């Protein structure tokens, strides 16, 4: 399916609605972020270099939800963000466009354009107000470029007993995303579109009081939609090869403390440029009145890969200190400093856009400072 | 002789203070009870599960008065209204749930709950509900 099909599904729903005399209910919500960031090094990291930029992370999104009946609804979420593939021009994105049917207390089915549920926070990753950080931990969230897919999901939720609840999410569909690949031969950045066909997501979550435990296994047939130059071997990138993602996440959050950790692992068959990667992060926070300072540590490496064979360790680690100040009931300011250590090429995460400096070197250590205002309405 | 008026003053002052305190307690902390649409039969455990966003098959209605919504969420789920709202917004922006609705007063609360078969709201315990479409959760 394509994005157009999802939008068509939503339009059909709206047309059905217009012929329906039933008094429908709708709501309009949204979220946004205004972020300024600077890098201690001239090399661009996720688009942030040593000049202050407002382009990375700044966004505005709106979400329309229309209930056709008590159980049937349409959701559309559109966002204006900066497109890092095209010189950071503002671009409009459709992030959600689906019809949802709640067939019972236990089962919700959605069909259309949905967010990929790879990790604990993946489905609301753009709504920074709802997250403890200004920038998501790259060692986990940087492993996957595909943020949306066209397909269907089934969400089963129920209780084991009075204390334990669980949720099973099964999803299937197609998704794609473009990213920039630093071509070390030509010295240029090439745009490569990666396609995930028949992505299967299997997620199980267990809830006990303020604790959440979540595991996910996802796999897809991965392919690229780019004609490679002759000097790049055909097995450099996935060519209808299987790509798998496995993750486990833990969260404890009460009125005072936050403890969150995730471990994620990516594997690709027969594709030595898209290297295997294992990564994790752990975040601890303490809430005091309207403030929540958090400390996050993350690490990722390529366990068995071309880099390793070439004695390039390709380790990435970071420490982030963040202060979240809820200055209004639905708005916060986040002040954040991250110190990164990049021991190797630093290309094993999709989100890392670590351009070499003028002398062709990538920095081994650098810091990112950011301040952001985040809100929902 | 001198002590009598002082004692009288103290007693009167104490009584007035106690009355004011009782009155303000009534105003600020009037007990909040959960209500649902008549078609939505839930018990206290189910209300807690919904408030904690472990079940999204409902729509929450909160009174605009923050003290009352806080009193409601604290007594049913042991969390502040802000913390409950944040859990729900995660579901909302994931496209999994309808956004909680803030209503102006008791009258609007009862009207909204009576016309939404998946509604969960709250009112003062001493309010008499005339609508047959609203159920008090016991």
In chain B, what percentage of residues exceed pLDDT 70? 79
The model carries a pTM of 0.86
Residue count of chain A, please give it.
Answer: 377
> For B63-108, how does the pLDDT look when each residue is reduced to its tens digit (9 = 90+)?
999 999 999 999 999 999 999 999 999 999 999 999 999 999 999 9
A184 in contact with chain B, both atoms CB, cutoff 8 A: no
Q: Is A86 helix (H, G, I), strand (E, B) or coil?
A: helix
**pLDDT in the model for residue A55:** 85
Q: Which among B110, B30, B32 has a CA at the least distance from the CA of B74? A: B32
CA separation for the pair A222, A196 (Å, rounded): 5
Give the residue with greater pLDDT, A245 vs A181: A245
Q: Which among B76, B64, B59 has a CA at the least distance from the CA of B119? A: B59
* CATH number of the B31-136 domain: 3.40.190.10
pLDDT reading at A304 higher than 90:
no
**pLDDT in the model for residue A152:** 98
Over residues B37-50, mean pLDDT: 93
* Contact across the interface for B95 and A255, Cβ inside 8 Å: no
B49 in contact with chain A, both atoms CB, cutoff 8 A: yes
Residue count of chain B, please give it.
Answer: 138
Give the residue with greater pLDDT, A374 vs B132: A374
Over residues A253-266, mean pLDDT: 96
CA separation for the pair B72, B63 (Å, rounded): 10
**pLDDT in the model for residue B45:** 92
pLDDT reading at A348 higher than 50:
no
**pLDDT in the model for residue A275:** 78
B98 in contact with chain A, both atoms CB, cutoff 8 A: yes
Is A32:A126 a contact under the CB 8 Å cutoff? no
Task: Tell me the nearest-neighbour CA distance from A242 into chain B, angstroms.
Answer: 27
What is the token pair recorded at A9? 């599904």
pLDDT reading at A86 higher than 70:
yes
Query: Which of A21-25, A39-43, A332-336 ranks highest by mean pLDDT?
Result: A332-336
Mean pLDDT of chain A: 86
Lowest-confidence region among A232-246, A361-375, B13-27: B13-27
Chain A residues in contact with B118 by the CB 8 A cut-off are 70
Is A324:A332 a contact under the CB 8 Å cutoff? yes
CA separation for the pair A56, B132 (Å, rounded): 53
Query: pLDDT-derived band of residue A183, with 50, 70 and 90 as boundaries?
Result: low
Query: Which of A1-15, A229-243, A268-282, B51-65 ranks highest by mean pLDDT?
Result: B51-65
β pairing state of B119-124 and B59-63: parallel
Q: Which among A67, A41, A46, A70 has a CA at the least distance from the CA of A56? A: A46
A182-208 burial code (b ≥16 CB/10 A, e <16):
beeeeeeeeebebbbeebebebebebe
Give the residue with greater pLDDT, A285 vs A232: A285
Q: What is the DSSP letter of A271?
A: -
Which residue stretches of A49-177 are H helix?
Answer: 138-141
Lowest-confidence region among A119-123, A168-172, A303-307: A303-307
**pLDDT in the model for residue A154:** 98
Measured from the Cβ of residue A131, the count of other Cβ atoms closer than 10 Å reads: 21
Chain B residues in contact with A105 by the CB 8 A cut-off are 55, 57
Nearest CA in chain B to A326: B82
The neighbouring-strand residues paired with B119 are B59
Q: Is A340 left (phi over 0), alpha (psi -120 to 50) or beta?
A: beta
Over residues A347-371, mean pLDDT: 65
Is A352:A45 a contact under the CB 8 Å cutoff? yes
Q: What ipTM goes with this model?
A: 0.88
* Contact across the interface for A124 and B98, Cβ inside 8 Å: no
In chain A, what percentage of residues exceed pLDDT 90? 57
Pick the CATH number of A3-376 from 3.40.30.10, 2.40.100.10, 2.40.160.10, 3.40.47.10: 2.40.160.10
Give the residue with greater pLDDT, A180 vs A210: A210
Sign of CA dihedral A192, A195, A200, A206: positive
Query: pLDDT-derived band of residue B7, with 50, 70 and 90 as boundaries?
Result: very low
Give the residue with greater pLDDT, B27 vs A280: A280
pLDDT reading at A345 higher than 80:
no
| Domain residue ranges in chain B | 1-30, 31-136
Lowest-confidence region among A148-162, A166-180, A358-372, B34-48: A358-372
| Domain residue ranges in chain A | 3-376
**pLDDT in the model for residue B30:** 76
Query: From the list A70, A77, A155, which residue is nearest B118 (CB)?
Result: A70
Task: Tell me the nearest-neighbour CA distance from A244 into chain B, angstroms.
Answer: 23
pLDDT reading at A351 higher than 50:
no
pLDDT reading at A346 higher than 70:
no
């Amino acid at each position: 399916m394509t994005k157009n099909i999802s939008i068509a599904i939503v339009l059909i729903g709206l047309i059905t609605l217009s012929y329906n005399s039933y008094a429908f209910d709708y709501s309009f919500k949204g979220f946004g972020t205004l972020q300024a960031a600077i890098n201690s090094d001239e090399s661009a990291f996720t688009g942030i270099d040593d000049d202050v930029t407002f382009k990375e992370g700044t966004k505005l999104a709106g979400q329309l939800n229309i209930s056709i009946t008590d159980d049937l609804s349409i959701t559309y979420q559109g966002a204006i963000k900066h497109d890092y593939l095209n010189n950071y021009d503002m671009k409009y994105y459709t992030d959600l466009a689906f019809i949802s049917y709640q067939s019972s207390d236990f089962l919700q089915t959605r069909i259309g354009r949905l967010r990929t549920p790879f990790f604990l926070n993946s489905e609301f990753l753009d709504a920074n107000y709802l997250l403890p950080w200004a920038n998501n931990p790259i060692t986990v969230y940087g492993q996957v470029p595909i943020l949306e897919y066209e397909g269907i999901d089934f969400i089963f939720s129920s209780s084991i007993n009075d204390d334990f609840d669980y949720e099973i999410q099964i999803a299937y569909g197609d998704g794609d995303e473009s990213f920039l690949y630093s071509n070390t031969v030509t010295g240029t950045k090439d745009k490569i579109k990666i396609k995930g066909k028949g992505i299967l997501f299997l997620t199980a979550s267990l809830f006990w009081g303020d604790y959440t435990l979540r595991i996910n296994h996802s796999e897809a047939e991965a392919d690229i939609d780019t004609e490679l130059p002759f000097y790049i071997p055909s097995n450099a990138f996935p060519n209808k090869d299987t790509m798998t993602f496995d993750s486990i996440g833990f969260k404890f959050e009460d009125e005072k403390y936050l403890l969150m950790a995730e471990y994620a692992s990516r594997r690709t068959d027969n594709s030595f440029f898209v290297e295997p990667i294992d990564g994790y992060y752990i975040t601890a926070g303490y809430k005091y009145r309207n403030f929540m300072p958090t400390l996050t540590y993350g690490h990722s490496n390529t366990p068995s890969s071309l880099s390793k064979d070439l004695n390039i360790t390709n380790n990435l680690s970071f420490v982030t200190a963040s202060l979240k100040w809820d200055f209004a009931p639905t708005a916060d300011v986040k002040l954040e400093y991250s110190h990164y250590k990049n021991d190797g090429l630093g290309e094993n995460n999709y989100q890392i856009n670590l351009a070499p400096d003028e002398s062709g070197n990538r920095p081994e250590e650098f810091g990112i400072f950011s301040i952001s205002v985040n809100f929902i309405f | 002789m001198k002590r009598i008026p002082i004692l009288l003053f103290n007693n009167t002052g104490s009584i007035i203070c106690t009355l004011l305190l009782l009155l303000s307690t009534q105003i600020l902390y009037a007990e909040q009870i959960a209500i649902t649409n008549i078609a939505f039969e839930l018990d206290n455990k189910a209300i807690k599960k919904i408030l904690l966003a472990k079940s999204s098959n409902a729509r929450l209605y909160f009174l605009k008065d923050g003290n009352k919504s806080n009193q409601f969420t604290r007594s049913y789920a042991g969390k502040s209204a802000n913390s409950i709202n944040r859990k729900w917004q995660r579901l909302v922006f994931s496209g999994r749930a309808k956004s909680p609705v803030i209503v102006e007063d008791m009258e609007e609360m009862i009207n909204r709950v009576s016309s939404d078969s998946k509604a969960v709201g709250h009112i003062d315990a001493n309010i008499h509900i005339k609508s047959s479409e609203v159920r008090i959760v016991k």
